[in-house]
Structure 1
């Protein structure tokens, strides 16, 4: 590729700039920031035939610096992500899975989810409205699509009981 520069070997300053640049654009957990920096180091090490383990201390130092300065806070990240996913109709299971995937520890996830004011049934109603399932379906074949709608709700992480209550609601005012 003409005009593309090769990746430079990481230094504390370069990794710090990369971390800050990433955090300016995205909210992140501590573990996720570590993964981002590890990918950057791995790319540079492949190009320069170096061992990525040599740079592990630098990555730890940069992540510690970002955590210490307040740029990265797992609890705040979990609260923000949970609120966002709940507004979009995310189930408790889906939120737990996404936060765990980003490296937030189980205890933080549990405490954040216990403090959420939106009920699971309300979130299911939002999800059904957004996806136009059940009472929000504008077609006449609502009964023919019932099984598919229930399956979609269950795949989204809602319990079968909640899915049945939302999908079988009389009209879109009940859910």
Structure 2
């Protein structure tokens, strides 16, 4: 993300050649000290409550700055967000790699496929390389069995099955990002095999 090189640069001026008008007279005004203090405190408040990605923090600070300060410019709002991100990095409060790892493990435990988790990470602003590294240990078979247990699919069915029910279950797996072959494998399992898969992996 961006870092503020110097918040005081915009306040400096030098005569423009052939005119008395300062060269940076039309330069965007930098954020005020009050804005920056608010950005810092807002970052602390948000990061104490939950783990965020760099993009999430930037977007939140930029959006709230526009709501909090009257007549704040887009440049000032973004500068506040950049300042907040820089402050968080300096205090080791932002770590997209750790976020991706935690989100991936949580996703698998919740029954989400690698594809679904990857989409969520992208939305949160995690770059592709970081996401791929986090997804290396994601187990789609385990996640699919978790989903089957949550939805009472396949080996976890509580009622007799028929072709329509199987089709609905296959469609649910497809919507979740699971492949056809994997979905068919899980639906064909008996409860013992499914239980062994759930017991074999504790993440």
- Please tell me the TM-score bracket, short chain as reference: 0.7 to 0.9
Structure 1 alignment gaps of length 5 or more? 1-8
| C-alpha deviation, 1:141, in angstroms | 2.9
Q: Is 1:68 equivalent to 2:90 in the alignment? A: yes
Q: Counterparts of 2:95 and 2:83 in 1: how far apart (Å)?
A: 16
Q: Is 1:135 equivalent to 2:159 in the alignment? A: no
Q: 1:1-30: per-residue Cα shift (whole Å, max 9, x none)?
A: xxxxxxxx9611111111111111111111
- Write out the 4+ residue segments of structure 1 that deviate beyond 6 Å after TM superposition: none
| C-alpha deviation, 1:134, in angstroms | 1.7
Provide the alpha-carbon RMSD of the alignment.
Answer: 1.7
Q: Counterparts of 1:159 and 1:62 in 2: how far apart (Å)?
A: 41
TM-score by length of 2: 0.75
| C-alpha deviation, 1:66, in angstroms | 0.2
Q: Is 1:28 equivalent to 2:24 in the alignment? A: no
| C-alpha deviation, 1:133, in angstroms | 1.2
In the alignment of these two chains, the number of paired residues is: 162
TM-score by length of 1: 0.86
Q: Is 1:50 equivalent to 2:72 in the alignment? A: yes
Q: Is the 8 A contact 1:32 1:103 kept in 2?
A: yes
Larger radius of gyration: 2
**CA 1:68–1:50 in 2, change beyond 3 Å: closer, same or farther?**
closer
Structure 2 alignment gaps of length 5 or more? 1-32, 195-203
Q: Which has the higher contact order (CA 8 A, sep 6+)?
A: 1
Equivalent in 157, 166, 175 of residue 186 of structure 2: 166
